[in-house]
């Protein structure tokens, strides 16, 4: 029997020195990986992985967004390195994994199999699973497939890769909020194809012509990087201007989107909530997230009221925004004591 529907709304925090505000958390200091490797997971794919923090600490795994985004070093800073054994990996085709931007043998179920291979390789029984945006999609899918291996879940910017969610951000909805950026993204595609922008971009980023691929990838990635924060972050925009990042990001995202994340039904993650209902979980979502609108998060919350939902009043999509960052770190601190 599920518990009553409750949630917490986190008020805005406007301060010069946030570390002085009671209960407000900032990231842990940078920490270097003490172990790295390349794991061959198929005849085609080899994934990069790394471990940082305390070798004897509580295991956790970070599942990055995109899909295709890769794991930057700053993700390690959301965990207390004295308490956690922090595992990260770049999903197939992303980051340092090889081959870059490869779409063959690249499905949600391939990624879940990779997570299990990595868990076994590192001799980990259970771990805390942490993921935002597409990382929340993959975290839900993994934990529903392997609830016995999931100690707790920390999720941010809920995304279930349903057609209506993809349409909101990439076809029409967010154009009402970022019209000037949307015009650049939309106008790259000829008018005759604009009724399906995701499909039009997918055709271009999978073109045999490298110039066509790159131009489309830069426009696709620029749209997402320019809208992820409540206030546009020039560093995010600059990140999207890296050609290798842009191409893997755009190719893999559109590949998953046109295939519905390879789920059996659009509501698979909602239909399988009972498999994870008793796993401790915290969900953090920005009120003004235009990449992954909060309506999706609310639908998940209604199906899974046992999870602790934190709605951050003055945030968009990015995990680096102060209110979201603070709530994520509070959650990882809490689960370090499990």
Instruction: State the pairing for strand pair 46-53/84-89.
Output: antiparallel
Query: What are the residue ranges of helices labelled H in the chain?
Result: 108-121, 134-145, 163-170, 179-187, 197-205, 210-225, 234-239, 243-258, 268-271, 294-303, 322-335
pLDDT at 305 over 80: yes
Whether this model's pTM surpasses 0.85 = yes
Burial (Cβ within 10 Å: 0-12, 13-18, ≥19) of residue 196? middle
Q: What integer pLDDT is reported at residue 193 of this predicted model?
A: 98
pLDDT band at 210 (very low <50, low <70, confident <90, very high): very high
Q: Mean pLDDT lowest for which of 228-232, 261-265, 269-273, 299-303? A: 228-232
Return the active site residues: 133, 289, 317
pLDDT for res 72: 95
Mean pLDDT value across residues 151-163: 98
CATH code: domain 8-162+262-335 is 3.40.50.1820
Query: Domains of the chain: which residue ranges?
Result: 8-162+262-335, 163-260
Q: How far is it, in rounded angstroms, from Cα 28 to Cα 44?
A: 36
Residue count of the chain, please give it. Answer: 338
- Write the pLDDT tens digit of every residue in 45-82: 999 999 999 999 999 999 999 999 999 999 999 999 99
């Amino acid at each position: 029997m599920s518990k009553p529907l409750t949630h917490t709304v986190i008020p805005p925090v406007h301060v010069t020195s946030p570390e002085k505000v009671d209960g407000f958390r900032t990231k842990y200091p940078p920490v270097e990986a003490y172990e790295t490797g390349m794991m061959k997971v198929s005849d085609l794919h080899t994934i990069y992985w790394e471990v940082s923090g305390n070798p004897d600490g509580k295991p956790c795994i970070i599942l990055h967004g995109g899909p295709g985004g890769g794991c930057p070093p700053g993700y390690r800073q959301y965990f207390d390195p004295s308490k956690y054994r922090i595992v990260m990996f770049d999903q197939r085709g992303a980051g340092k994994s090889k081959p870059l931007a490869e779409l063959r043998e690249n499905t949600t179920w391939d990624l879940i199999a990779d997570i299990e291979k990595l868990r076994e390789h590192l001799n980990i029984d259970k771990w805390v699973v942490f993921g935002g945006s597409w990382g929340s999609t993959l975290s839900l899918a993994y934990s529903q497939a392997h609830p016995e291996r999931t100690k707790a879940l920390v999720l941010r910017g809920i995304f279930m890769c349903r057609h209506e969610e993809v349409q909101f951000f990439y076809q029409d909805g967010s154009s009402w909020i970022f019209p000037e950026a949307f015009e650049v993204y939309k106008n790259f595609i000829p008018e005759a194809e604009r009724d399906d922008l995701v499909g039009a971009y997918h055709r271009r980023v999978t073109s045999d012509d490298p110039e066509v691929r790159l131009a489309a990838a830069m426009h696709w990635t620029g749209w997402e990087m320019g809208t992820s924060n409540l206030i546009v972050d020039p560093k995010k925009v600059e990140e999207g201007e890296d050609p290798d990042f842009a191409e893997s990001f755009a190719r893999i995202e559109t590949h998953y989107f046109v295939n519905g994340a390879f789920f059996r039904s659009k509501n698979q993650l909602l239909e399988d909530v009972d498999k994870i209902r008793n796993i401790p979980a915290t969900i953090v979502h920005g009120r003004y997230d235009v990449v992954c609108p909060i309506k999706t998060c609310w639908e998940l919350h209604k199906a899974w009221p046992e999870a602790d939902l934190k709605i951050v009043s003055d945030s968009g999509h990015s995990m680096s925004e102060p209110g979201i960052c603070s709530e994520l770190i509070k959650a990882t601190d809490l689960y370090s004591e499990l």
